[in-house]
Amino acid sequence: MYDVLEETFSVPNISIKENNIVIKWPHVEVIPHNFYMKSHKDFKIVMIIKNPYDVIGSIIKRFGFPIPEIRNVNAWRKYAEWFYKIKNDIPSNIFTIKYEEMFDNDYEKIREMFIFLNLPYSKKEIIFNGRECFIGKIEIPKDEPLPTEHGAFRTWQINQKFENKTGKNLKFLPDNLKNKIDKLSITKKLGY
């Protein structure tokens, strides 16, 4: 599996031989629409979106103010509109899922995603077993690092129990940004 580390890079400029690719932060400006629809139409792609209130709250928790433009409410809106368009006109090579759906009905959407990717699925092995995942060569911290220690924090975070954390970061979201998210039509279209 090809894992995109550091979470940002320009996908269209690389040659990938691996069967699976993971891109954590698919910015619309970085990965053009035709990456999904034309230039990599033979790839199987999973698009995930998460509750914007949690996303922006988490970014504020980790980066403070001002929010980097590439991670602000407008950036989430662009990706959300793109996600919504693809979800409602799904090409056969794209699987769309809301983060919150992964936990419903005994992880049914995760099972569907593995079938879509032609990967073996065992709930016990994937959901419940301990696993060790790393960002670069950073060892898994025993205690939660400060969110500003990016590599250590992410390594610690991805090695936590797989559970729905929706709402955890809402407390970091100021009212003015909450109101801005409330007013986005895409927020309602996606059921947030």
Task: Kindly report, residue by residue over 6-41, the tens digit of the pLDDT.
Answer: 443 334 444 555 555 555 555 555 555 566 556 666
How would you write 57-116 as a 3-class SS string? Answer: HHHHHHHCCCCCHHHCHHHHHHHHHHHHHHHHCCCCCEEEEEHHHHHHHHCHHHHHHHHH
What Å distances lie between residue 80 and 69, 97, 154, 176, CA to CA? Answer: 16, 12, 23, 20
Query: What are the backbone dihedrals phi and psi of residue 47, each rounded to the nearest 5 degrees, phi first?
Result: -105, 125
Any idea what the CATH number is for the domain that residue 78 is in? Answer: 3.40.50
pTM of the predicted model, to two decimals? 0.77
Match 């793109």 to its residue by tokens.
82
| C-alpha angle 105-91-20 in degrees, rounded to nearest 5 | 75
Query: How many domains, in total, are found in the chain?
Result: 1
pLDDT of residue 13: 45
Match 């992410």 to its residue by tokens.
154
Q: Which residues of the chain have pLDDT under 70?
A: 1-41, 128-131, 133-136
pLDDT of residue 11: 41
pLDDT of residue 104: 94
Query: Is the preceding peptide bond at 66 cis, omega within 30 degrees of 0?
Result: yes
Q: Which domain holds residue 131?
A: 2-189
Helix axes 73-88, 175-183, angle to 10 degrees: 30
| C-alpha angle 36-75-168 in degrees, rounded to nearest 5 | 105
Burial of 17 per CB tally in 10 Å (0-12, 13-18, 19+): exposed
